[in-house]
């Protein structure tokens, strides 16, 4: 059966591996490369579905582990899926719940059957199996579902990485078999293999055989060296089929996004822009502003004069500085700006790919972000050189 998505290549960069694609999903057509803000419990922290739509966000992420526990799949089904529950009409991607293994590792145990958790809500032991994960995601009705994978930290090596990689392949087969909504939901495989190139190649070969609608590059962005990170990314994009979407999980720093687009990735997600907003940090093309710092107390400019988000249209740095000390509304305003920043960055990247000036875009992005070449991160310079971009 044909997958309920199609990927149309609109433009390919003639220098790098970057591509501009039209990804048609059941609820919405998304232009890639795309950044997907992360929501939890049906809503993004600090922002509503309506505000996300006003920022022209095309696709966002729902968190299966949290939604599977509270309010639970039965209630979500009654609410006409996560789209109805959130009142979000555009595309949605749900994770498998597996990532929580790393973040709640002291509460979990991985066996061939699945992951056994002690629920942080009621202390009850629950099993998240590949079948259960797909059952929940089928109830949520997301456009893209993620397979349950065996996640290991990217900083460990040895036999546990190999075990997790082979188990993730077996769990992919169980997820494919468990999917009850082939017509309307796309299941993505997650490539594992840690920082071991040989294991990554084995995983890629096996998963590509499964002919799933899309592929994610997993198990990275967990504190590994950037030199290892980008090599695993580019190895994966070299292997993955051209006509299917490639989702790099957990990546959201601006520089990482620009470099990984150049390496051929299409989709990204990360809690960073919303998490950092809650610490009063606003993203700007030259880095970030720590709005709680005294220097902004009398600064009557917006966060970024070139940003046209609702926050920058209405509020000054001085106002946000004062508000931050007394009111959570400041976090809300900064969250909106940070998401607008991410979405705007991706749309500028897409325009530059379409107009065959992405290599020039990279040059000016890096200059603005780091000032001069001596401050450029070495890994980015090296990674970009492999796709024919020599930073000046």
Which residues participate in the annotated binding site?
95-99, 149, 192, 219, 307, 309, 312, 337
Residues 47 and 91: their CA atoms lie apart, in Å, by: 17
* Structural tokens at position 119: 């629920």
> Binding to Zn ion (CB under 5 A): which residues in 55-114?
none
Residue 324-363 contact track with Zn ion, rule CB under 5 A, x = bound:
-------------x--------------------------
* Structural tokens at position 170: 């077996």
167 binds Zn ion (CB under 5 A): no
- Give the torsion sign (CA, 142, 266, 32, 313): positive
**Does 33 sit behind a cis peptide bond, omega within 30 degrees of 0 on the bond before it?**
yes
Nearer to Zn ion, 36 or 343 (CB): 343
Nearer to Zn ion, 43 or 316 (CB): 316
CB environment 118-136: b (16+ within 10 A), e (fewer): eeeeeeeeeebbbbbbbbb
Residues 100 and 306: their CA atoms lie apart, in Å, by: 37
238 is catalytic: no
Strand 125-128, strand 287-290: pairing: unpaired
HSE (CB half, 13 Å, CA atoms) of 132? 16
Nearer to Zn ion, 52 or 148 (CB): 52
Nearer to Zn ion, 239 or 253 (CB): 253
Residue position matching structure tokens 């890994």:
379
Length of the chain: 392
Nearest to 57 by CA among 11, 20, 93: 93
Catalytic hit among 56, 95, 122, 351: 95
* Structural tokens at position 360: 């020039």
Nearer to Zn ion, 140 or 340 (CB): 340
Nearer to Zn ion, 47 or 259 (CB): 47
State the binding site for substrate.
95-99, 149, 192, 219
Instruction: Enumerate the β-bridge partners of residue 117.
Output: 108, 126
State the binding site for Zn(2+).
307, 309, 312, 337
In degrees and rounded to multiples of 5, residue 288 shows phi and psi of: -150, 155
SS3 of residue 212 by DSSP: coil
Smallest distance, Zn ion to C-beta of residue 256, A: 21
Percentages (nearest 5) of helix, strand, coil residues in the chain: 45, 20, 40
Size of the site for Zn ion (CB under 5 A): 5
Smallest distance, Zn ion to C-beta of residue 91, A: 24
Residues 372 and 122: their CA atoms lie apart, in Å, by: 53
Catalytic hit among 143, 256, 269, 304: 269
Nearer to Zn ion, 231 or 337 (CB): 337
Smallest distance, Zn ion to C-beta of residue 345, A: 12
227 is catalytic: no
Residues 388 and 392: their CA atoms lie apart, in Å, by: 12
Smallest distance, Zn ion to C-beta of residue 257, A: 18
SS3 of residue 296 by DSSP: helix
Smallest distance, Zn ion to C-beta of residue 306, A: 9
Smallest distance, Zn ion to C-beta of residue 343, A: 11
* Structural tokens at position 71: 């309010």
Q: Between vectors from CA 7 to CA 243 and to CA 62, what angle results, nearest 5°?
A: 115
Smallest distance, Zn ion to C-beta of residue 336, A: 7
Residue 290-329 contact track with Zn ion, rule CB under 5 A, x = bound:
-----------------x-x-xx-----------------
Angle between helix axes 378-385 and 226-239 (nearest 10 degrees) is: 20
Active site residues: 95, 269
Q: Residues in the site for Zn ion, rule: CB under 5 A?
A: 307, 309, 311-312, 337
């Amino acid at each position: 059966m044909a997958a309920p998505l199609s990927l149309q290549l609109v433009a390919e960069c003639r220098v790098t591996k970057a591509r501009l694609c039209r990804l048609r999903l059941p609820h919405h057509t998304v232009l890639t490369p795309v950044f997907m803000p992360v929501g939890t419990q049906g809503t993004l922290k600090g922002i509503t579905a309506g505000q996300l739509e006003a920022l022209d966000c095309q696709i966002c992420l729902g968190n299966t582990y949290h939604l599977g526990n509270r309010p639970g799949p039965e209630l979500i089904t009654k609410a006409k899926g996560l789209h109805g529950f959130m009142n979000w009409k555009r595309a949605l991607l749900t994770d498998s719940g597996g990532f929580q293994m790393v973040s709640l590792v002291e509460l979990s145990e991985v066996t061939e059957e699945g992951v056994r958790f002690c629920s942080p809500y009621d202390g009850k032991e629950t099993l998240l199996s590949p079948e259960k994960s797909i059952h929940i995601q089928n109830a949520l009705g997301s456009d893209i579902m993620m397979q349950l994978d065996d996640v290991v930290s990217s900083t460990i090596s040895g036999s546990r990485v190999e075990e997790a990689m082979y188990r993730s392949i077996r769990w992919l087969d169980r997820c494919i078999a468990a999917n009850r909504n082939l017509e309307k939901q796309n299941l993505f495989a997650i490539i594992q293999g840690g920082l071991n190139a040989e294991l990554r190649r084995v995983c890629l070969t096996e998963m590509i055989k499964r002919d799933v609608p899309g592929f994610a590059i997993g198990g990275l962005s967990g504190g590994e060296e950037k030199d290892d990170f980008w090599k695993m990314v580019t190895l994966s994009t070299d292997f993955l089929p051209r006509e299917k979407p490639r989702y790099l999980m957990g990546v959201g720093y601006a520089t990482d996004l620009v470099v990984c687009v150049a390496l051929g990735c299409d989709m990204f997600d990360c809690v960073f822009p919303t998490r950092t907003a809650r610490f009063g940090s606003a993203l700007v093309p030259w880095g970030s502003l720590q709005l709680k710092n005294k220097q902004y107390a009398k600064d009557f400019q917006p966060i970024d004069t070139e940003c046209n988000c609702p926050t920058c249209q209405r509020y000054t740095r001085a106002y946000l500085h004062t508000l931050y000390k007394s009111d959570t509304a400041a976090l809300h305003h900064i969250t909106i700006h940070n998401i607008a920043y991410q979405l705007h960055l991706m749309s500028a990247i897409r325009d530059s790919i379409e107009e065959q000036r992405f290599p020039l875009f990279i040059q000016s992005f890096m200059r603005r972000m780091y000032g001069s070449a001596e401050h450029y991160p070495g890994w980015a310079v090296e990674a970009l050189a492999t796709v024919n971009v020599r930073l000046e």
